[in-house]
Structure 1
Amino acid sequence: MTVPAHPTFDDLLDRAGSLPLRRLVVLLCAVVTTLDGFDTQSIALAAPSISREWGVPAAAFGSVFGVGLAGSLVGTVLLGRLGDRYGRRGLLLASVGLFAGCSLLTPLAGSVPALVVARFLTGIGLGGALPAAITLTSEFAAPRRRGFVVGLMFCGFPFGGVLAGLVAAPLVPSWGWASVFVVGGVLPLALLPVMRSLPESPQYLLQRGEHARLDRVLARMDASGVRIAHTPAPPRSPVARLFADGRALGTVLLWTTLFLALMLAYLLVNWVPLVTRAAGAGPAGASLAVATLNVGAIAGCLVLGRIADRRRPVVVVGVGFLLGAVAIAGLAWAGGSSGALFVVTSVTGFFAIGSQMCLAAVCAGFYETPSRATGVGAAMGAGRVGGILGPVLGGVLLGTGYSSSTIFLITAVAAVLAAVTIVLAGRTAPRPSPVIVAEVAR
């Protein structure tokens, strides 16, 4: 393929010679998100065994679950900021090392307070890994398939949760609860040497003026005969750039969308099993309902992400949330039939949670290189707050006398609001300009 006289960096990403490196980035980042999802789910799977072994009530684990999400919130916001200062690759390696080490230390905790500390530190590493993986994948994905590729990579997170359940089922009865955390620590540690082959983002290296490292990455992309003109970053901090150049309102709307999207997602994940049990499906049926919700979410993310690559992403995601609202409302009347409930949960996962997962690519495309990791981390942090409040909101509503059907209708309203805010965010954001311009070396 001939390089145009004045191609953008996106043109270079479409070259066949860059495909092996792009595949490596997507694969390793997908493995990281899978391990992230595995470790996030592991504490819920180990909690019943820990409760019996330590002789503590199950209610005591509320703080353990909550502090893990709080640590993840800290990681997404603070470590995401470091990704724009020290690089996406370095942040990803450090975050994986942190949650791997803390996972291995978790079995040494002999009390609930010690477990709280271990899960908080683990959460910081888990939270830091996601924005780094999303940003790096986005900056190496060809533009015509960026939404699909980032979505495919992000599907590793729910897949990791499913994998944790499959691994824990035979492991915990035979080797005890500690074995889940040993697996959750050993696997990412074993991955770290392989992750050293990951390249740094060329856009980041250009902004930092690290031309020697940039040339090495371009050589791996089969673009060693290309020079890239330096475009200096604006003299603002990455945080300030989230609100500069006409992005202030869009940033707030994006945060609002993530807040609503994760609030409804976590509310569904926590309350769908209870509704399924109430419908007479039993424990196996409750697990199947959660499985159909997650499988639907993965399928929805991939399909909607592919459509978003051909249409306006914010419109596709907005329509997905609207259709998800209809499906969530359907949960209110499907509760009387377990068969109908399984169908509706899969459709709900496809549109409501699938749209939420597509937001990862939307966030990455919303900001330019100097503030992309910070922007992704901050948006995901807003989402984490919604994820923490979602299950709590469901419990409060149920405790005040609202039926489960009413709770689902309220959740459907949140999906409608998410559709409105993401479309408005897209309309208010300035059109991204190419940061990098390449010229054939003469």
Structure 2
Amino acid sequence: MNLREKIDISPMSGYQWAIVAMAAIMNLLDGFDVLALAFTASSIKAEFALTGVQLGYLLSAGLIGMTAGSLFLAPLADKIGRRPLLLIAIALSALGMFGSAFIEHHETLFGWRLLTGLGVGGILVGTNVLTSEYSSRKWRSFAISVYAAGFGVGAVLGGFFAVALQDVYGWRAVYLAGAGLTGLCFIILFAWLPESIDFLLNKQPFNAQKQLNKITQKMGLGKDWTLPEKISHDQGLSAVKKLPISPLFSAQYLRSTLLIWTAFFAIMFSFYFVSSWTPALLKDAGMSENASIVVGMMISIGGTVGSLCYGLLASRWSARHVLMLFTVLSSCAIIIFIFSSSILWLAMVFGVLVGALMNGCISGLYTLNPNIYAADIRSTGVGWSIGIGRIGSILAPTIAGSLLDFGWQKQSLYIAVGFVLLIAVIALYFLKRPTKIQAV
């Protein structure tokens, strides 16, 4: 039995759960850092006399940065390791938050938000892969769901935290607090975060044997594991010319890559449409501003519950089948939600349900994605899937706004999004069911 198989079948140790907890905390801070501008938008708009278009550009900067981080930082993790990539990404995020606190012109803020998003994009990839690799087969779905739930918790807590800080110290304090917390996270991770076992086995960097046995001893798996014979990946000059993402389109991975990209794009597109437009559309339909914001908060609150529920269900049944069920139910819930929006309590109930189901879908994607690719290209595969999903998240608010300008009614938009989710179901149906994390 090799070490990868031993991890898959063994009970999760306290050390492994501690790694999952570190990933969840990183994701929690990501939720705060990414949405910091949403929490402070009104104050920044007033101070710099921004137009709606200018504020929109600033709000999009974080998402653009996250997309770039997922696409272009992720391949670094397959070259230098998961741990160094995470430390670099967290440092970028902390620097972006710190710089945002001292801007004198709104144009400068765009650059700092781009840098923050770049770091967050790298963190999302690194934490997803590391959580998956350190989890046993039985608890992998739940562990990833715990990690994924951190983002929603950070968004909700960040909102309350930001309100309290702004009232006393002004909007810049929100960014200083985010920088401080992210910097503290960097110190903790530098001291305690281990390297990926799969990376040590596959790439075998300097001192890999010593690192491996130190980690396995903490996991309760002994300290007598040896590195396998290193497989040479040197295939001559032709290999040098290949792009880092070329393996994703090889005969082995092409079908799975296109299908998981389709699922990511469709689900992230739908999620960010609902998150971005629901409060505004409900307000336009006659709901009070406070009530529409409450419904929007219900979607975020439901997300944390949904991620954990998905993880528990997927630990008992097929992760792919549970994800398909969540996606179908999300499609139905979105349509019912918009037709029940005239009744506040009913809208709140279905808002929680929509948030729970759609965040469960995202947890499911994070669970399936690392299983598709071998260790030497896993971060690249995961990063590009998340990046494609982020492109969907960027396009969703813009496309929805254009359709509204063309005369679409809000009910029609939500029905269309319901059908977009069904595209994801079809892609998931044809996606080959992954059986285990591949070590090499």
When normalised by structure 1's length, the TM-score is 0.92
Q: In structure 2, how many angstroms separate the alpha carbons of the residues matched to 1:116 and 1:179?
A: 18
Within 5 Å, which residues of 2 pair with 1:65-76? 65-76=59-70
Q: Which residue of 1 aligns with 2:271?
A: 265
- Asked if the contact 1:231–1:435 (Cα under 8 Å) also holds between the matched residues in 2, the reply is no
- Asked if the contact 2:148–2:363 (Cα under 8 Å) also holds between the matched residues in 1, the reply is yes
Q: Which residue of 2 aligns with 1:439?
A: none
- Asked if the contact 2:310–2:363 (Cα under 8 Å) also holds between the matched residues in 1, the reply is no
Structure 2 gap segments, 5+ residues each: 234-238
Of 165, 179, 189, the residue aligned with 2:183 is 189
Q: Which residue of 1 aligns with 2:302?
A: 296
Q: Which residue of 2 aligns with 1:211?
A: 209
Q: Which residue of 2 aligns with 1:199?
A: 194
Q: Which residue of 2 aligns with 1:377?
A: 383
Q: In structure 1, how many angstroms separate the alpha carbons of the residues matched to 2:47 and 2:300?
A: 31
Q: Which residue of 2 aligns with 1:400?
A: 406
Q: In structure 2, how many angstroms separate the alpha carbons of the residues matched to 1:432 and 1:243?
A: 21
Of 127, 132, 139, the residue aligned with 2:126 is 132
- Asked if the contact 1:102–1:121 (Cα under 8 Å) also holds between the matched residues in 2, the reply is yes
Structure 1 gap segments, 5+ residues each: 1-5, 437-442
Of 321, 346, 350, the residue aligned with 2:352 is 346
Q: Which amino acid aligns with 1:82?
A: L
- Asked if the contact 2:264–2:386 (Cα under 8 Å) also holds between the matched residues in 1, the reply is yes
Q: In structure 1, how many angstroms separate the alpha carbons of the residues matched to 2:436 and 2:161?
A: 43
Of 379, 387, 397, the residue aligned with 2:393 is 387
Q: In structure 2, how many angstroms separate the alpha carbons of the residues matched to 1:157 and 1:260?
A: 20
What displacement does 1:55 show?
2.2
What displacement does 1:244 show?
3.1
Q: In structure 1, how many angstroms separate the alpha carbons of the residues matched to 2:2 and 2:51?
A: 62
What displacement does 1:11 show?
2.2
Q: In structure 2, how many angstroms separate the alpha carbons of the residues matched to 1:146 and 1:398?
A: 41
What displacement does 1:25 show?
0.6
- Asked if the contact 2:7–2:135 (Cα under 8 Å) also holds between the matched residues in 1, the reply is no
What displacement does 1:154 show?
1.1
SS state of the match for residue 431, structure 2? helix
What displacement does 1:381 show?
0.2
- Asked if the contact 1:368–1:432 (Cα under 8 Å) also holds between the matched residues in 2, the reply is no
Q: Which residue of 1 aligns with 2:439?
A: 435
Of 79, 91, 106, the residue aligned with 1:97 is 91
Instruction: Indicate how the Cα distance of structure 1 residues 248 and 13 shifts in structure 2: closer, same or farther if over 3 A, else same.
Output: closer
- Asked if the contact 1:332–1:406 (Cα under 8 Å) also holds between the matched residues in 2, the reply is no
Report Cα offsets for 1:397-419 as digits up to 9, x if no partner. Answer: 11110000000000100111111
Q: In structure 1, how many angstroms separate the alpha carbons of the residues matched to 2:289 and 2:123?
A: 33
What displacement does 1:336 show?
1.9
Report Cα offsets for 1:220-246 as digits up to 9, x if no partner. Answer: 223334324516457377623323352
What displacement does 1:157 show?
0.8
What displacement does 1:285 show?
1.4
Q: Tell me whether 1:35 sits opposite 2:29 in the alignment.
A: yes
- Asked if the contact 2:86–2:123 (Cα under 8 Å) also holds between the matched residues in 1, the reply is yes
Q: Which residue of 1 aligns with 2:150?
A: 156
Q: Which amino acid aligns with 2:271?
A: A
What displacement does 1:162 show?
0.8
Report Cα offsets for 1:129-156 as digits up to 9, x if no partner. Answer: 1100111111111110101111111111
Q: Which amino acid aligns with 1:69?
A: L
Q: In structure 2, how many angstroms separate the alpha carbons of the residues matched to 1:232 and 1:263?
A: 41
Q: In structure 2, how many angstroms separate the alpha carbons of the residues matched to 1:400 and 1:68?
A: 28
SS state of the match for residue 227, structure 1? coil
Q: Which residue of 1 aligns with 2:76?
A: 82
Of 166, 170, 173, the residue aligned with 1:176 is 170
What displacement does 1:433 show?
7.0
Q: Which amino acid aligns with 2:203?
A: R
- Asked if the contact 1:10–1:143 (Cα under 8 Å) also holds between the matched residues in 2, the reply is no
Q: Which residue of 1 aligns with 2:221?
A: 223
- Asked if the contact 1:261–1:353 (Cα under 8 Å) also holds between the matched residues in 2, the reply is no
Report Cα offsets for 1:282-312 as digits up to 9, x if no partner. Answer: 2221222122212222222211222222222
When normalised by structure 2's length, the TM-score is 0.92
- Asked if the contact 1:367–1:432 (Cα under 8 Å) also holds between the matched residues in 2, the reply is no
Q: Tell me whether 1:274 sits opposite 2:269 in the alignment.
A: no
Instruction: Indicate how the Cα distance of structure 1 residues 234 and 415 shifts in structure 2: closer, same or farther if over 3 A, else same.
Output: farther
User: Greater CA deviation, 283-292 or 230-239?
Assistant: 230-239
- Asked if the contact 2:8–2:138 (Cα under 8 Å) also holds between the matched residues in 1, the reply is no
Q: Which amino acid aligns with 1:287?
A: I
What displacement does 1:365 show?
1.6
- Name segments (4+ residues, structure 1) moved above 6 Å: none
Instruction: Indicate how the Cα distance of structure 1 residues 140 and 433 shifts in structure 2: closer, same or farther if over 3 A, else same.
Output: closer
Q: In structure 2, how many angstroms separate the alpha carbons of the residues matched to 1:43 and 1:371?
A: 34
Identity of aligned residues (%): 26
Q: Tell me whether 1:147 sits opposite 2:151 in the alignment.
A: no
